[in-house]
Chain A
Amino acid sequence: MTELRVDPIACHAHGLCAELLPEIVELDEWGYPLIRGRVPAHLTAEARQAVAYCPTLALRLERGRTGAAAGGRPGR
């Protein structure tokens, strides 16, 4: 299983990802992507398309890993 990840700075809410991959990507009320779950094997091709076609290259596909990658910030 792979995970679709958004670079929140690069993302400018073009919304192409939601059109290409509506099973995984929903848009919030301001047009920014919400990633709902991991990418199942049968949608890998669509996910790769979404990554390639994002106008700001804000998407990437990562090999499945556990846990919240955003957690555990070691301080500021």
Chain B
Amino acid sequence: MTATDVRSDQRLLAGWTDTGTEADLAAHVARYGAVADGARYALIAEVERSGLRGRGGAGFPTGRKLAAVAAGRGRTGVVANGCEGDPASGKDRALLRVAPHLVLDGIVLAAQAVGADAAYLCVHRGDPTVRSLRAALAERRGDPVRPLLVEVPARYVASEESALVHFLNTGDARPTTKPPRPFERGVDGRPTLLDNVETLAHLALIARYGAGWFRSLGTGASPGTALVTVGGAVVNPGVYEVAFGTPLGQIWGLAGGFTAPVGAALVGGYEGSWLPFPDASALPFSHEALHTAGAGLGVAALLALPASACGLTETADILSYLAGESAGQCGPCMFGLPAVAADLSALARGSGPDAAHRLRRRLGLLPGRGACGHPDGATRLATSALRVFAEDIRQHSRHRPCAGAHRPPVLRGGTR
């Protein structure tokens, strides 16, 4: 199985799948060849043709972002985001551990394509990958742009794009208001390409094998493969690589199936959406299918909730975590998130329809009123809980809270 085998969906994880070892530079070059010196393809056009979409959560077309930065005036910069602030997600960490040179190649190739003379690879301070990344960087020779490894405060919002740029510019890891966006004015005031590390790894392979190869797997609107973190009530929680379009049920199967009967799944990370079963098995794993179902790819994390747990309690717990991770700059987020977390707790305890009504009203007033998308994401999570666990709200109020509501939450303890 090689990376050029069009039938293999193990592209980024080919080395890991074949050998079970983390790839050093020699292993990386043996498998994928050396990063092309002059461009084998005109990279921006090729990435545009490939349809590659960002893997950091927004799914924005990467080629379009590359073109926007390249069109900027003067020198540009590249930031590779490997911070992975969402606790439900482990894919970036896994990729950086087992195939760091794919990411580093991607950074260098992207930098060449947009005319950057500076590049940064950002990870959380104290992350275990820091040491292996330093080693990987030390192995490389002759890169036209040498990525600088930067350690960022390990906070949820610190890896939001404007927060990352703000940190690189000033040392303050809090989001800033938009405009400008990094592609317009970012690090050192220059147009900056800011991409998730997985996006850049896919880019490194598109540079070698082309858009047609990339598109040979996946769907029209979601081409290629993706890393997905599977957790919760599954036998083998971990990071897997799948072609887009794979039914979610097959992905649960890759993770060994369920350890207990499941009721719902959290799709997209802590700021994603709940989906009930059987939707959460029947749906294809793609931007468009999840969007139609009222969810989204987000950070490509799937968490299976055992039926014995209480979805309202779990959601309240995650919301309380998100509230604690507010940067504390914008009133609606700073005050609104703790309030909706408390509202969800009250619903779990059996407060009933008036509390649900108050919560809905509050949720209507959060999106778009912060400097970043943190309150929007929390709203998305809470709104999906109100929808998917509507029957639980009724039962808790008319009868009594379920047994799961009396136990500690299960998801936040074991997501990695």
Contact = CB atoms under 8 A, between A and B. Distances in A.
A1 to B, nearest CB: 19
Which size class do B's interface residues fall under? Answer: 20 to 34
Nearest to A28: B365
A16 interface: no
A30 B334 CA distance: 10
Interface residues of A, number: 17
Interface in B175-204: 176-178, 181, 183, 194-196
Contact of A75 (B60, B365, B368): B60
Interface in A12-35: 12-13, 28, 30-32, 34
B177 A7 contact: yes
B257 interface: no
A73 interface: yes
A11 B65 CA distance: 31
A28 B365 CA distance: 8
A41 interface: no
B365 A34 contact: yes
Most chain B Cβ neighbours within 10 Å, of A11, A12, A68: A11
A7 B176 CA distance: 10
Given A28-B332, A30-B331, A32-B332, A8 B369 contact: yes
Interface string B200-235: 000000000000000000000000000000000000
A31 B54 contact: no
Interface in B359-398: 365, 368-371, 373
A63 interface: no
A4 to B, nearest CB: 14
Given A32-B331, A75-B65, A75-B161, A8 B58 contact: no
Interface of A: 7-9, 11-13, 28, 30-32, 34, 68, 70, 73-76
Q: Which 10 A-B pairs have the closest CB atoms?
A: A32-B331, A8-B330, A30-B335, A75-B58, A75-B60, A74-B60, A75-B54, A76-B161, A70-B368, A9-B329
